Structure 1
């Protein structure tokens, strides 16, 4: 396989590559800093990266990939039990961290390499605690095959201990190249985001994506609408975010003309990791003239579909399959659904070069994740419109509600609820019902806690927009919805008071 980052050696190395706050590296400086670290990683199969939202994390991952090692990003917010499981399962040879970072006790027995981004062009990074002998000379990118591991990214562990998805170099390269085609992404683009760097959205798309294109990324450290305004006004062309971030943007726009102006000048606004409510789509478009496009992926598959930059940015959809990706919907028994009628709900299955090679140390889980003919079972439920656009209606385990003989996706009901002026946030689940099989339950954060909308009011609202059988039968009012680090609603945590 060719280099994952040709811009590191293509002779135009004075271009800006990374910026975190007031700290930045050009491509020449990135190559020097990363290769100084890469020399210390030679011969190691896997290394852990303490993935703080900092310049050192980006340098560490690039160094691991240049050395031919697989990087295991660690969430700094992980508890000791989860972190211990990941370390035991992945068995990294050492941990890469920023100088001065205090690591939890679970990591203190691992050899540590401090990532010195200030090495610049002065030679190998100084490292007091790294036992690996110092070497000198350049550190060209190691020879690696397409199927050699690039990353081991751990799943959220909602149904058991987190599993390590082994992502090969070909998956990283083909996904980023497919997105370049879909988004007309070039080395002239400057990306701004404030996403965490321990998962594929923030790390693979948000850091490795710009570096593969030869462009640059400006990381906010912590998301803020003020930071978005500043960077877009300062020349950034693209914004990546999750629905929680875009919701905050939509809420801020009426009173922030500078934010509206900055967003209106962006080339591309992209949302992912969960569905962006249609109501937020509409508010952002109304204030800026821009449409947010959505894409669909997951840890095991990287990216599967996207709305194209030159396509129709249809709210509520995640676009069409990316180049090289095959996608089908299937019934519960695995029978493919051939019709693109916008109504038939089925589980998404995908195959292509974007897929992981398996779960680390879990051949049983790997085998269960694939069909006999090689399709990956995503667990996501969707419909396809006549032109092939994919609309995700929820997770098979938590968002598919079987009520009165109908298969209903929670996502479309949530979008309808969010159109009600009395609803600030909404989640929909199902619960057992002796007559219907399951009844629809709405979990609402009201816009005015003193005057929340009634069950009948919300039922009528949904029935008028969708269909009577999709109306909620039960409504719970909450102060907030439980969310994970990516802003996804944790529906398993929703329980009655």
Structure 2
């Protein structure tokens, strides 16, 4: 019933539907199919499946515009999971624990298909990386003790917080773990360092801790650090069979990719499909990268932001949002989980910041919701100190922060401010909280705006 509205969407109205539970207005249930007799039509249907046959349609998160229906073919998905398996597979059967949704490419393709390829076991985590839901994840870790973990930076940060004060949880988490991978957003170096310190404390050695980079259009793999990563925003080298074309863009490179795991296009949108590929049929990812070590390209790439998120100040200077965001999150650790950089066509840079739940509580506030004036002031003072240190080394107007405010409420998935993968949609937040942005730049700002 909760998805009844989706059935009226023109692109989906003619599609066949199944429901996990009865009572969905005449829609057949999964259970009703279990008694179906296997006849010649099943064998015929199997024989009809080719590499180009569409296996599923996943809609993009909308972080760069309206969601688009990405055609995921059988060949595309098999190529993606095989490439990943060649780099990070294990001789032992994996045991996974995952909260990421299956309607997004990381949970529904990378995690699910990876476990299926290896013949492992996947436990569905009913927790989430939020103050109110993370306790479920912690309880599940104690029970499952996964051998592999693929998650987003916000979840890993909360997990590190919990393990630093709970030795039993730390022992359970690392008891069978062989590899951790993060995706969806850049991981602050401080979180990577803390997690490795916990691994050394438990195992006597660091854990294999890498990063994956991809999109819904690539099923999702583009690149991965299949070696002992050192953190710092590394996204590794291309997956086997995939070609990355780097197009110069100022001091960075725009990413374009071509290979067997790239989508043939978008559902009923030939216009968007044509615009998504260049003259050599490379898919335009829309992200920017730099070399981790320009003198040694084999050391891989480093994420440097989304092309669509960069903006100009009123003086015409470009702000490299992705790179600056990562630098500022690092500068404000352990206080900050994420931030938004404002604003296009303004005269300087100002920030809206989400504070880590543990730091909110340490200041006398709640883990989420409205902060008391006293808690707000305490956190603001610590933020100001860190940002002033940043400014002393970054005096240019495309890097220097002029003011900041703390956001009381988390980024909203429903309002398009964040994706299920944990990536903050900068444009969506600036649009949805336009009044707060105006207050940041007011000639007479309110008491919650901290000038630097």
Tell whether the structures are fold-level matches, with TM greater than 0.5: yes
Contact 1:418 1:425 survives alignment (8 Å): no
Q: Which residue does 1:155 correspond to in 2?
A: 60
Higher RCO structure (Cα 8 Å, ≥6 apart) = 2
Measured in 2, the distance between the counterparts of 1:421 and 1:210 equals 34
Q: Which residue does 1:457 correspond to in 2?
A: 385
In the alignment, does 2:326 pair up with 1:414?
A: yes
Measured in 1, the distance between the counterparts of 2:66 and 2:231 equals 37
Q: Which residue does 1:98 correspond to in 2?
A: 20
Question: Equivalent residues in 2 for 1:90-129 (5 A)?
Answer: 90-100=12-22, 103=24, 108=25, 112-116=27-31, 125-126=34-35
Question: Equivalent residues in 2 for 1:361-440 (5 A)?
Answer: 361-386=268-293, 387-388=296-297, 389-399=300-310, 405=317, 408-421=320-333, 423-432=335-344, 439-440=348-349
1:303 pairs with one of 215, 221, 224: 221
In the alignment, does 2:112 pair up with 1:207?
A: yes
Q: Matched residue pairs, number? A: 385
Measured in 2, the distance between the counterparts of 1:496 and 1:196 equals 32
Contact 1:458 1:472 survives alignment (8 Å): no
Contact 1:238 1:268 survives alignment (8 Å): yes
Question: Equivalent residues in 2 for 1:4-83 (5 A)?
Answer: 80=5
Q: CA deviation at 1:153?
A: 0.7
Q: Which residue does 1:219 correspond to in 2?
A: 124
Q: Deviations over 1:187-235 (max 9, x none)?
A: 6112221111211111112222211222221212334455456557645
Q: Deviations over 1:458-492 (max 9, x none)?
A: 44322456675522223122114413333222322
Measured in 1, the distance between the counterparts of 2:4 and 2:252 equals 37
TM-score of the pair, normalised by structure 2: 0.75
Measured in 2, the distance between the counterparts of 1:419 and 1:250 equals 18
Distance 1:95 1:259, change over 3 A: same
Distance 1:263 1:316, change over 3 A: farther
Q: Deviations over 1:30-63 (max 9, x none)?
A: xxxxxxxxxxxxxxxxxxxx9xxxxxxxxxxxxx
1:236 pairs with one of 138, 146, 165: 146
Measured in 1, the distance between the counterparts of 2:71 and 2:323 equals 29
2:231 pairs with one of 297, 302, 314: 314
2:419 pairs with one of 464, 484, 488: 484
Q: Which residue does 2:373 correspond to in 1?
A: none
Contact 2:127 2:136 survives alignment (8 Å): no
Distance 1:477 1:232, change over 3 A: closer
Contact 2:96 2:146 survives alignment (8 Å): yes
2:350 pairs with one of 429, 437, 441: 441
Please give the secondary structure, in 2, of the residue aligned with 1:353.
coil
In the alignment, does 2:8 pair up with 1:84?
A: yes
Q: Which residue does 2:185 correspond to in 1?
A: 274
Measured in 2, the distance between the counterparts of 1:152 and 1:181 equals 25
1:142 pairs with one of 36, 42, 46: 46
TM-score of the pair, normalised by structure 1: 0.69
Contact 2:84 2:239 survives alignment (8 Å): yes
Measured in 2, the distance between the counterparts of 1:146 and 1:367 equals 21
1:197 pairs with one of 86, 95, 102: 102
Q: CA deviation at 1:444?
A: 1.7
Query: Could you tell which deviates more after superposition, 385-394 or 365-374?
Result: 385-394
- The Cα RMSD (Å) is 3.1
Distance 1:211 1:465, change over 3 A: farther
Q: Which residue does 1:129 correspond to in 2?
A: none
Q: CA deviation at 1:251?
A: 2.0
Distance 1:477 1:226, change over 3 A: closer
Contact 2:190 2:333 survives alignment (8 Å): no
Q: CA deviation at 1:185?
A: 4.1
| Larger helix percent | 2
Contact 1:179 1:185 survives alignment (8 Å): no
Measured in 1, the distance between the counterparts of 2:140 and 2:112 equals 19
Please give the secondary structure, in 1, of the residue aligned with 2:268.
coil
Q: Which residue does 1:7 correspond to in 2?
A: none
Q: CA deviation at 1:326?
A: 1.2
Measured in 1, the distance between the counterparts of 2:4 and 2:425 equals 17
